[in-house]
Amino acid sequence: MFADGDLFEVANSLARLVGAPVTIEDPDTIVVAYSGGDQDVDEVRIETILGRQVPVHYRDMLTEAGVFERLAASDDVIVVDLPESSMVPRAVVAVRDDGRLVASVWAALGGPPSEQQRAVLRSAGPVIAEHLRRERHRADAARRERGDVVAGLVAGGESAEAVAAERLPAGPWSVIAVRGDEGEVPQPIWSALALHLGAIAPSAVCAPLGPTVYAVVVADSAVGLMADFMERFRHSDRVVVGVGPPVDQPRDLDQSRAVADLVADTLLRRRRKGAVETLATAWVDVLVDRLEPLLAAHPGASPLTRLIEHDLRHRAGLVDAVAAYLELGDVARTAKALHVHPNTLRNRLRRARDQCAVDIADPDTRLALMIALRARGRPTP
């Protein structure tokens, strides 16, 4: 009944049999395949095909109408008619694989389907499920192969040399580490990244290894590629990106990966979600992050602790005075920012020196305070 070949050919066969345009969509309303020809019956179909996903405002209307709930629960052909929208009525049927919803078929019939059309739509389900199953197996095999390639590269040494000879263009290269804010990077994010790199940088390799998605790219494009991805992808605030330094030899890619991991770890701990950073651009965050365990283990040694304890006893405002002065570096500007008289500010800085042994004229003390304030989340230069 249906043509052999890929899902687009199945969609074309199905469209001819029911006499209407057809789309095949996954459970997230992303278009998997669609029939061709002069079949642009309404704006919804045009926008859906161009964007490869049902537009949000139509998806919300379908949700409110209970369409997705019915698809999840029923194998019958569902008629979707939303008079308040510009959408031509659709006949929709679920596609299941071993009882699990894996797709849906949407035919823009313009009215209720005939019994013959219903029978054709129902018969399409097993055919589409089989195509999706085969495609999933192919995708799984390709994913494992990409994982092996990326693992060999980021391990460095001889394994990287062997893989790079077959898979990488001329260097230098950088390793990119992408981490999620809740454990593993969500599958839609790393799939989107793989598509992005495939379109913009076909020579790049990308795969998840444990909780991290790694990519190996030509070094001079690494930051730009990821900044562009983070700007385009709507869930980018759920991940952080560490970019390793360039390396000239594939055997040194493990060093680039180590730095990318360090930066990504720091960005996560500092809650810098959505950030794309190198070690150079995240240097202060990385430095403070490395020192935080020491600060936490020996809080009494920090000059900031003495100021905090003094403020708790006397409500003197020394921490705010010192932090603002370190940030602004000028008595007049700091006093204005704190809404106090300059002499009041000078008195507080003097109390910090005389009563807490915290002399901000001393460079080492200023450095220690800046690090402690940064670790505590206060702005410093």
CATH (domain of 336): 1.10.10.2840
Instruction: Give the pLDDT confidence score for residue 381 in this predicted structure.
Output: 37
Assign residue 63 the CATH number of its domain.
Answer: 3.30.450.40
Q: How confident is the model at residue 380 (pLDDT cuts 50, 70, 90)?
A: very low
Spatial distance between the Cα atoms of 272 and 11, rounded to a whole number of angstroms:
44
Judged by average pLDDT, the poorest of 139-143, 247-251, 264-268 is 139-143
79 or 381: which leads in pLDDT: 79
Q: Please check the confidence at residue 78 and state whether its pLDDT lies above 80.
A: yes
Domain end call among 258, 282, 306 = 282
In a domain, 144, yes or no: no
Residues 107 and 17 in one domain: yes
Across all residues in the chain, what is the average pLDDT?
A: 88
Judged by average pLDDT, the poorest of 2-6, 195-199, 289-293, 331-335 is 2-6
Domain end call among 249, 282, 315 = 282
Residues 110 and 32 in one domain: yes
**Mean pLDDT of the 166-185 span:** 88
Indicate the helix (H) or strand (E) that contains 21: none
Q: Please check the confidence at residue 231 and state whether its pLDDT lies above 60.
A: yes
Q: CA torsion, points 112, 114, 120, 126, in degrees to nearest 10?
A: 50
In a domain, 132, yes or no: no
CA distances from 266 to 24, 150, 260, 288 (A): 42, 23, 10, 9
Cβ atoms of 370 and 380 closer than 8 Å:
yes
In a domain, 91, yes or no: yes
Residues 78 and 16 in one domain: yes
Q: How confident is the model at residue 135 (pLDDT cuts 50, 70, 90)?
A: confident
Cα dihedral sign for 309, 310, 312, 317?
negative
Instruction: Give the pLDDT confidence score for residue 82 in this predicted structure.
Output: 87
Residues 193 and 311 in one domain: no
In a domain, 146, yes or no: no
The share of the chain scoring above pLDDT 90, in percent, equals 53
Closest by Cα among 59, 61, 54 to 34: 54
Instruction: Give the pLDDT confidence score for residue 166 in this predicted structure.
Output: 83
Cβ atoms of 271 and 184 closer than 8 Å:
no
Spatial distance between the Cα atoms of 241 and 206, rounded to a whole number of angstroms:
13
Total domains in the chain come to 3
In a domain, 149, yes or no: no
Residues 11 and 120 in one domain: yes
Residues 268 and 314 in one domain: no
Residues 161 and 121 in one domain: no
In a domain, 40, yes or no: yes
Assign residue 186 the CATH number of its domain.
Answer: 3.30.70.270
The share of the chain scoring above pLDDT 70, in percent, equals 95
In a domain, 141, yes or no: no
Spatial distance between the Cα atoms of 48 and 360, rounded to a whole number of angstroms:
62
Give me 292's structure tokens. 């935080």
Residues 46 and 116 in one domain: yes
Residues 233 and 323 in one domain: no
Residues 119 and 202 in one domain: no
Q: Could you read off the pLDDT of 23-54 as tens digits, one per residue?
A: 999 888 888 889 987 656 788 888 888 888 88
- 88: which residues sit within 8 A by CB, 6+ positions away? 41, 42, 44, 45, 108, 109, 110
Residues 96 and 175 in one domain: no
In a domain, 139, yes or no: no
Q: What is the pTM of this model?
A: 0.62
Residues 260 and 336 in one domain: no
Spatial distance between the Cα atoms of 63 and 58, rounded to a whole number of angstroms:
9
Q: Could you read off the pLDDT of 307-362 as tens digits, one per residue?
A: 999 999 999 999 999 999 999 989 999 999 999 999 999 999 999 999 999 999 99
Q: Please check the confidence at residue 200 and state whether its pLDDT lies above 90.
A: no
Q: CA torsion, points 107, 110, 113, 119, in degrees to nearest 10?
A: -20
Q: What is the largest CA-CA distance in the chain?
A: 93
Domain range for residue 224? Answer: 155-282
* Listed ranges 41-55, 100-114, 156-170; the one with the highest mean pLDDT: 100-114
Instruction: Give the pLDDT confidence score for residue 358 in this predicted structure.
Output: 93
